[in-house]
Amino acid sequence: MYNHNPRITCNDGFNISVQAHDGSYCQRNTAGNLLTVECGFPTTTPKTAELRNYAELCGTSDYTETVYGFVPIEVVQAELDAHGGIVDGCLPS
């Protein structure tokens, strides 16, 4: 079983799942530092084109019903900042 990171909620109410465990689409460097994470199922379409570019839409145009694999931490942070920052939860480590 994997330890799932709780959903992140931002200042404007936006929330999203951000995961980094062996069963998710994430990468670490040889030192174990997190490089990319898996995001999924945001409550609204992401504001940043950078995050939308990672969507696995799979035949749909609904950005709220999909997974975003191997997203660089910087891209996720930019999206969270666009929503006023984190008020609940945290990025996985």
When pLDDT is averaged across residues 82-86 and rounded to a whole number, the result is 98
List helix spans (H) across 1-93. Answer: 49-52, 73-82
Average pLDDT along the chain: 96
Say what the pTM is: 0.94
7: phi then psi, degrees, rounded to nearest 5:
-60, 145
pLDDT at 1 over 80: no
When pLDDT is averaged across residues 28-34 and rounded to a whole number, the result is 95
pLDDT at 12 over 70: yes
